[in-house]
Amino acid sequence: MTGETMRAWAVTAPGPVEADPLRLVERPVPAPGDDELLVRVRACGVCRTDLHVTEGDLPVRRPGVTPGHEVVGEVAGLGRAVSGFAPGDRVGVAWLRRTDGTCPYCARGAENLCPASRYTGWDADGGYAEYTTVPAAFAHRLPGEVDDVALAPLLCAGIIGFRALRRTSLPRGGRLGLYGFGGSAHLCAQVALAEGATVHVMTRGAAAQALALELGAASAQGAYDPPPEPLDGAILFAPAGDLVPVALRALDRGGVLSVAGIHLSDIPPLRYESDLFYEKELRSVTSNTREDARDFLAVAARHGVRATTHTYPLSRAPEALRDLKAGRFDGAAVLVNDFS
80 or 108: CB nearest Zn ion: 108
Which span sits near Zn ion by CB under 5 A: 94-102, 187-195, 220-228, 296-304?
94-102
> Smaller CB distance to Zn ion: residue 284 or 340?
284
Please state the closest distance from residue 171 (CB atom) to Zn ion, in A.
28
Q: Is 99 near Zn ion (CB under 5 A)? A: yes
List the one residue from 156, 197, 246, 314 that touches Zn ion (CB under 5 A): 156
Torsion of Cα atoms, 113 then 115 then 116 then 122, to 10°: 80
Which runs of consecutive H residues, i.e. helices, occur in 216-289? 243-250
Task: Please provide the DSSP assignment of 54-101 as one string.
Answer: HHTSSPPSSTT------EEEEEEEE-TT--S--TT-EEEE-SEEE--S
Of 24, 25, 58, 103, which lies in the binding site for Zn ion, with binding defined by CB under 5 A? 103
Helix (H) or strand (E) holding 179: strand 175-179
Shortest Å distance, C-beta 156 to Zn ion: 3
Q: Which region, judged by CB under 5 A, interacts with Zn ion, from 5-13, 46-54, 174-182, 192-200? A: 46-54
- Cα–Cα distances (Å) from 323 to 17, 319, 332, in that order, read 10, 6, 11
Q: Does 106 bind Zn ion (CB under 5 A)?
A: yes
Nearer to Zn ion, 8 or 94 (CB): 94
Which range, of 35-43, 49-57, 58-66, 317-325, touches Zn ion by CB under 5 A?
Answer: 49-57
Per the CB < 8 A criterion, the answer to whether 236 and 224 are in contact is no
263, containing H or E segment: none
Binding mask 113-152 for Zn ion (x = CB under 5 A): -x--------------------------------------
Residue 184 or 337: which CB sits closer to Zn ion?
184
∠ CA 40-44-46 to the nearest 5 degrees?
Answer: 155
**Does residue 49 interact with Zn ion by CB under 5 A?**
yes
User: Least distance in Å: CB of 84 to Zn ion?
Assistant: 23
Collapsed DSSP state (helix, strand, coil) of residue 165 = helix
Quick one: which segment of 60-68, 154-162, 206-214, 302-310 binds Zn ion (CB under 5 A)?
Answer: 154-162
Q: Supply the minimum distance, in Å, between the C-beta of residue 218 and Zn ion.
A: 28
Asked if residues 325 and 51 have their Cβ atoms less than 8 Å apart, the reply is yes
CA dist 242 and 229 (Å) reads: 21
Q: Site residues (CB under 5 A) for Zn ion?
A: 47, 49, 99-100, 103, 106, 114, 156
